[in-house]
Structure 1
Amino acid sequence: MSFVNESLTNVTAGQQYHSLVGIVLSSALTTLTCCVFLFINGTLLYTLRSKSVFRETSRYLLLYNLLFADTVLLAESQVLFLFSAGRVMLSYPVCGILAFLSNLTFVISPLTLVVMSLERYVAVCYPLRHSSIITVRNTGLAIVLVWAFGSLNVLAHISLLLQFPFADLESLQMKDHCTISAMMLTQISYHFEEAFTCFLFAVAGVTVISSYVGVIVAARSASTDKASAHKARNTMTLHLVQLGLSLLSTVHNPILATLSQIMSRVELLRIQIFIYVCTVLLPRCLSALIYGLRDQTIRPVLMHHLCCRLNHTH
């Protein structure tokens, strides 16, 4: 009997050891990847503020807004991932701040892609009116409206959260990992989040696709600059890809919740890393990789700043 107990103890210790090693390796791997992306994003953000041509051009202002939101979300997602991997339980107030900030920056990306698509549509279909419609002032107003709309969504979530009877709880310490889903403490909060997400991506998808079709139709016109229309079409194709990846990140938590019921913690951890990288990390680094390397104006300045920073590091 003691031999059986000793064997079970060894198996349990072995499982705990492998689980601990897996957590450490996954945390180190994702953190290193995240730091690389944050370094590139941070350098591009600095690049977009380094020259007046970037500060005074609407599409670069929109890119800065998109990149800023993605960078904040990327950093916060990694922090929450490390808390989850390390089984760190937060209090409801602290988790609420992190979760709703994540929710805000998540909403900013598709809305900014909508404005960027409309800007390219106007540039191709109404080139003579582009400079009068897409001004720095109007672009700044559009960015303010994007953040205001995202903030209204957060305020709606907070008002729904306050309806939960926190006074009946023994403690404000959470018993689950901190996620946006974990802060949906009432049924109406889930329904509101689902409805808002569907509405957001439906509007964004219809707008980007309509702009894409409009550019294709305009490209067939003899009076349209073919090269400009071709670049705009490629840009909006990338916007659709980014929008699709952002939508994919909404299924991250539901997939993990389903898999957690049929898999062990070690197996779930391996799947979680893959899903996390594909649905959270990858979409948030695409903006820097796409625009930083593709744009002929940004690329030389970005490479100069990257090389300088790497030289200073060494």
Structure 2
Amino acid sequence: MANPTTLYSNITQVSVDSNKYTETVRMALLILLVLCFCFFLYFLTIILYVYFTTAHIRENTRYVLFVHMLINDTLYLILGLTLLVAVSYKVYLPVSLCYVLVTIGSISFIVTPYNLAVMALERYVAICYPLRHAELCTPQRSHAAIAVIWAVGLIPNIADFIVLSSSVETKYFSLNVICSWARLLKAPVQNTMRSITLILSFTLVGLIIVYTYIRIMLVARKLGSGKSSAFTAGKTVMLHAFQLLLCMTAFSSHFTETYLKDYFTFLAIANFLLFMCFPRFLSPFIYGIRDEVFRKYIKKLHSSAITSG
């Protein structure tokens, strides 16, 4: 007969080794996330430096919207990474603070596709109504559009707060919880409202991008030049569509975490990296490096750094 003490010791050792392995993998994934985020911040800093030190870029509606999208994505990534670390290491936060962080993250998540829609509309006006572009697409109107985007993004969260407040007692907001969206679901209608908001938002943005792309490419065909500004604008709108598609992959994380969370220990971290971070990490490359103006200034900055070094 096996010695019970030895058997218990072996089981304990396996458990310890498993915990060490789990912690090692978790730390590796989090370090990878942080490194990618630092790389993203490096390009973001360069783009913001060029933007704020170049007057004619700050007066261009296209670049105002682009920089707003980058700043918004940075806010989302900071909040998402903070909450992910808190959940991974079971850090308890007051419900009131948790709700504020989750709400800001939720708004910044939905603001990105709205911003893509407005950027597509700006290209549409520039190509289809060039004589009115300077009148319609001004920095002031861009800032107004950004304010409207945030207001629209806030509306579903106000409705969610009303539903949550009516479903719980006041003392609920003073409790401490492991902060996640699931912890704040106290009524089935909250999840329904969230799903409807996301589906309607992405559908509307998708229709806007498809419509603007078709109209722009019709103008490009009339011009008949593959190097015309209309063809360039069409490619830009297609990039908006590509990024919107990447943002929509975030839907899959809900299903994978619902049905596969018991089989994959690090599913939440992997989902956050692939479906939340990856589309946003691409923004500086898709728009910043591809754009001739930013590319020229980035090359100039690197040349100056090499020369001074």
TM-score, normalised relative to structure 2: 0.91
Structure 1 counterpart SS, 2:222: coil
Q: Which residue identity is paired with 1:248?
A: T
Tell me the distance in 2 between the aligned counterparts of 1:185 and 1:233: 45
Which deviates more, 302-311 or 54-63?
Answer: 302-311
Tell me the distance in 2 between the aligned counterparts of 1:65 and 1:19: 38
Q: For residues 119-160 of structure 1, give each alpha carbon's deviation from its aligned partner in whole angstroms, at most 9, with x where no partner exists.
A: 111111111221122122222221111111112222222222
Match of 2:265 among 265, 268, 276: 268
Tell me the distance in 2 between the aligned counterparts of 1:311 and 1:156: 56
- Pick closer, same or farther for the CA change 1:211–1:170 going to 2, 3 Å: closer
Tell me the distance in 1 between the aligned counterparts of 2:77 and 2:304: 24
Q: Is the 8 A contact 2:65 2:142 kept in 1?
A: yes
Question: What is the match of residue 124 of structure 1?
Answer: 127
Tell me the distance in 1 between the aligned counterparts of 2:211 and 2:97: 41
- Pick closer, same or farther for the CA change 1:223–1:136 going to 2, 3 Å: farther
Question: What is the match of residue 6 of structure 1?
Answer: 9
Runs of 4+ aligned structure 1 residues displaced above 4 Å come to 167-171, 223-226, 303-312
Quote the offset at 1:225 in angstroms.
8.9
Alignment of 1:172 with 2:175, yes or no, is yes
5+ long unaligned stretches in structure 1: none
Alignment of 1:290 with 2:286, yes or no, is yes
Question: What is the match of residue 206 of structure 2?
Answer: 205
Question: What is the match of residue 231 of structure 2?
Answer: 230
Q: Which residue identity is paired with 1:182?
A: R
Quote the offset at 1:277 in angstroms.
1.8
Q: For residues 286-310 of structure 1, give each alpha carbon's deviation from its aligned partner in whole angstroms, at most 9, with x where no partner exists.
A: 2211111111111122344567789
Q: For residues 189-217 of structure 1, give each alpha carbon's deviation from its aligned partner in whole angstroms, at most 9, with x where no partner exists.
A: 11110111111011100000111111111
Question: What is the match of residue 107 of structure 1?
Answer: 110
- Pick closer, same or farther for the CA change 1:225–1:145 going to 2, 3 Å: farther
- Pick closer, same or farther for the CA change 1:192–1:302 going to 2, 3 Å: same
Tell me the distance in 2 between the aligned counterparts of 1:164 and 1:17: 41
Q: How many residues get paired?
A: 306
Structure 2 counterpart SS, 1:90: strand
- Pick closer, same or farther for the CA change 1:306–1:67 going to 2, 3 Å: farther
Alignment of 1:239 with 2:235, yes or no, is no
Tell me the distance in 1 between the aligned counterparts of 2:173 and 2:98: 17
Q: Is the 8 A contact 2:94 2:173 kept in 1?
A: no
Alignment of 1:24 with 2:27, yes or no, is yes
- Pick closer, same or farther for the CA change 1:168–1:272 going to 2, 3 Å: closer
Which deviates more, 153-162 or 277-286?
Answer: 153-162
Tell me the distance in 2 between the aligned counterparts of 1:272 and 1:109: 21
Question: What is the match of residue 301 of structure 1?
Answer: 297
Match of 2:144 among 137, 141, 145: 141
Which deviates more, 27-36 or 200-209?
Answer: 27-36
Q: Is the 8 A contact 2:168 2:186 kept in 1?
A: no
Q: 1:68-87 residue pairs with structure 2 within 5 A?
A: 68-87=71-90
Question: What is the match of residue 35 of structure 1?
Answer: 38
Quote the offset at 1:279 in angstroms.
0.5
TM-score, normalised relative to structure 1: 0.89
- Pick closer, same or farther for the CA change 1:304–1:98 going to 2, 3 Å: farther
Q: Is the 8 A contact 2:95 2:172 kept in 1?
A: no
Structure 2 counterpart SS, 1:87: coil
